[in-house]
Amino acid sequence: MKTSIAKMQEKPQDKSQYALTAYDLQTLLALVRGATLAEAARRLGADASTVFRSVQRIEKSLGQRLFERSRLGYLPTEPMLGLAQHAERIEAELEAARASAQRPHEGVAGRVRLTTTDAVLRGLVLPSLKPLLAQHPLLQLDMRTGNELASLSRRDADLALRATRKPPDHLVGRKLGTVRFVVCGLKAQARALSSAKKAAAPDALGGFDWIAPDESLPEHPSVLWRRKQLPKVAPRHYADGIVGVMDAIKAGLGVGIVPVFMLEGEPALVPLGGTLEGCESDLWLLAHAESRHLRRIAVVYDHFAASVRLQNA
């Protein structure tokens, strides 16, 4: 009997019976989101070699490949994408449990990561934050700007405020209004335009130096409008965002197209006409369905939904 028991104990474990741990799922999810060992390690607070060994161990134990190695990094296989969905639900449940442990009368605490654009951050987000932070002194905001939604899709952010006509299907959210645009410049340029002898507006605008977004924003409404309405205009200066365009206009380098909401706090800038027909976008507040109702995220979400208003919408 002792011999048979010993042989049973020595029998290798069936790979299909390997029990994934919470740390295994956390490691795999970090690599799915980060795509590289270095980025996954940064998210986990570990080193790349540890992540590499962990992934090798998990794949060997499960008897299947979870990532395809490529020049683009670690690409998740179909089985890994399925595991990632479970890992995200577990992550959300843990956050919900932590939130429920807070006393109801206490203000929310912790970090909420927001991704948005430079224009929306300066013109809409920052002016609205003082009451929120006064009510919740332990709340921390991590605000990142960029021209795409990749960071939210990879869970680098909890919320997004984006101008888009079609938000991603995997996110939930609310439309906050319509972003409209105007050509603007300095007062001297407005006077020069008004003194033009009955020139058609597009022709008169074409006589100025123009500042425009660079190639990082090829589909921006202002770019599409200018190319259609002023096809002969070749911008003299470029900026990597709408805030850069606005700052260049303020510096007297030319005229450009900016959102109407950005003019409210810029007395030096004046519109050189009305809002541009066919040049607009929708402003969306977006979140993940799994984490939208976590207390710290819900508080910030509800604040933006109530306080961010487009007067021209």
Instruction: Choose which CATH entry (1.10.1740.10, 3.40.605.10, 1.10.10.10, 1.10.1370.10) describes domain 2-98.
Output: 1.10.10.10
**Residues ≥6 apart with Cβ < 8 Å to 170:** 153, 288, 289
User: What is the distance, to the nearest Å, from the Cα of residue 297 to the centroid of all Cα atoms in its chain?
Assistant: 15
**pLDDT above 60 for 199:** no
Q: Report the chain's mean pLDDT, rounded to a whole number.
A: 85
Return the closest-CA partner of residue 152 out of 172, 128, 130, 123: 172
| Residue whose entry in the numeric block shows the structure tokens 């449940």 | 93
Distances (CA, A) of 69 to 32, 66, 109, 116, 140: 12, 10, 39, 31, 36
What pLDDT is recorded for position 250?
95
What three-state secondary structure class fits 167? Answer: coil
**pLDDT above 80 for 99:** no
Question: Would you state the CATH architecture of domain 106-313?
Answer: 3-Layer(aba) Sandwich (3.40)
269: which 2 tokens?
Answer: 């800038």
**Residues ≥6 apart with Cβ < 8 Å to 140:** 110, 111, 112
Distances (CA, A) of 137 to 13, 133, 292: 51, 6, 21
| Cβ proximity of 43 and 34 under 8 Å | yes
What's at 304, amino acid-wise? F
Average pLDDT over residues 232-243: 94
Average pLDDT over residues 235-244: 94
Average pLDDT over residues 270-284: 93
| Cβ proximity of 82 and 51 under 8 Å | no
**pLDDT above 70 for 311:** no
User: What is the distance, to the nearest Å, from the Cα of residue 198 to the centroid of all Cα atoms in its chain?
Assistant: 45
**For the chain, which residues make up each domain, given as ranges?**
2-98, 106-313
pTM over 0.85: no
Distances (CA, A) of 210 to 119, 226, 234, 284: 18, 10, 7, 29
What three-state secondary structure class fits 2? Answer: helix
CA distance 2 to 8: 10
**Residues ≥6 apart with Cβ < 8 Å to 182:** 257, 258, 260, 263, 271, 272, 273, 274, 275, 276
**pLDDT above 80 for 207:** yes
CA distance 227 to 175: 27
- Bridge partners for 280 per DSSP: 180
**pLDDT above 90 for 169:** no
What pLDDT is recorded for position 201?
58
What's at 142, amino acid-wise? D
Return the closest-CA partner of residue 251 out of 229, 236, 264: 236
**pLDDT above 50 for 8:** no
The tens digit of pLDDT for each residue in 14-44 reads 555 788 998 999 999 999 888 899 989 988 9
- Phi (first) and psi of residue 70, to 5 degrees: -145, 175
**pLDDT above 70 for 172:** yes
- Bridge partners for 183 per DSSP: 257
CA distance 242 to 167: 20
